[in-house]
Each structure stands twice: as C-alpha cells, then as structure tokens.
Amino acid sequence: MSEARMKANVLKILASPAIRHINFRISGNHIYNERFKKLAVAIKVGLVGFTVLKDTQAKGRYFHQPNILMLNETIGASGTISNRLQQTVVHECFHAICDMEMLEGISPTQEETCGYIAMAIYEKYHFGKSQYKKDHPMTAMLATLKGNPGYELQGDAAFGDLYQRAYEMYSKNNSGWGRDSNIHDGL
C-alpha cells in the first residue's frame, strides 16, 4: 500500500460516524470526537507522516518522534480497508492523539488499554457488533460507556481487568515494558 493510499484510508476511517461514539476520560484527560477531528486536520496538513511496516508481525505502530503512523503492508494491500485495518488505525490514532495533545498522567499500560477501548467502540458502532463475548470485561466496559459520555475510566473494575490483560500481553515479551511514562511531545 502506498503512503498516499494509507493516508487516504486513515482519513476515511477518522471521518466515520462511529468515531463520535468514542467519549471517555482517563486520568482526567477527555478523549472524544473533537480530538480525532483535530488529528485528521494534522494529518491533512502533513504533521503526521506515514510509512509502511515491512516484515513484521505488528499491524501498526505510532512513533512520537518523528510523528509517524506505521501500518503493516499486508493490511489493506488490495486497496480496500479491511475491518482489522480500521481497528488498528483507530488504536494507533489514539496514541497519536495522546502525543498531539501532550497528555500527561497516563501510564503506557493505561494508554494501550484505552487504545483497545477506542478500537472496540469503533468496531461496535461502525460494524454494528462487537467481537467480545458477554463475560469479557470489554463488554462490560462498552455497556458502561454507552450511557455515560465522558466517563472516567480510572477506578472502573472492567477497566482494571482490561489494564491487567494489556500489561500481561505487553510485558510477556519485555519485562521492562510499561515502567517508564510515555513521552508525549506534541506534533
């Protein structure tokens, strides 16, 4: 996928009506539709670059220096925007928003967990369903968020369960993962 195609796909995803359903707080930082719109503008004017990840298992990454969104070349290679690409883009765009807004007080594990929550909200409202089973903590989290726009995640039991899962997943291959605070230096 070319970088131009990647940029066009990301902007299409950020314009989805499903994005407006992302509305929560983490450690007092409000994550909602307007932040995604602001990111789309930053992308349009070139403040966020794009590159293709090659020969990697990762589906996507965001690097705060030099403000690069990277997506795996196999995702959307046909020119279509696969469901998985859309979800990965929302997750990585959440990281870009944290950087753009220079959000503070969010640990790396909280940030990853929130990225997955944003991804799940997008999935539910864009595709009309959720991949999570009834007893999964993400299902409880989505139900809580549906009736509580701007809900503070910190202290929520389902968020705590999701946080623990994220920490275990990322620290499994890197024992030092998540110990340093994230660097958000703006675009």
Task: Report how many domains make up the chain.
Answer: 1
pLDDT of 154 strictly over 70: yes
Residue 180, in any domain of the structure: no
The answer to pTM > 0.95 is: no
Residue 101, in any domain of the structure: yes
> Which segment, 51-60, 159-168, 173-182, is predicted with the most confidence on average?
159-168
Farthest CA pair distance, the chain: 43
Residue 83, in any domain of the structure: yes
Give the tokens for residue 19: 């994005």
Residue 115, in any domain of the structure: yes
Give the tokens for residue 79: 């020119």
What average pLDDT does this structure show over 28-49?
94
Residue 177, in any domain of the structure: no
Residue 181, in any domain of the structure: no
| Whole-number pLDDT of residue 91 | 94
Structural domain harbouring 50: 3-171
How far from each other are the two terminal CA atoms of the chain, in whole angstroms? 24
Give the model confidence (pLDDT) of 52-102 as tens digits: 777 666 778 888 878 888 887 665 556 667 788 889 999 999 999 999 999
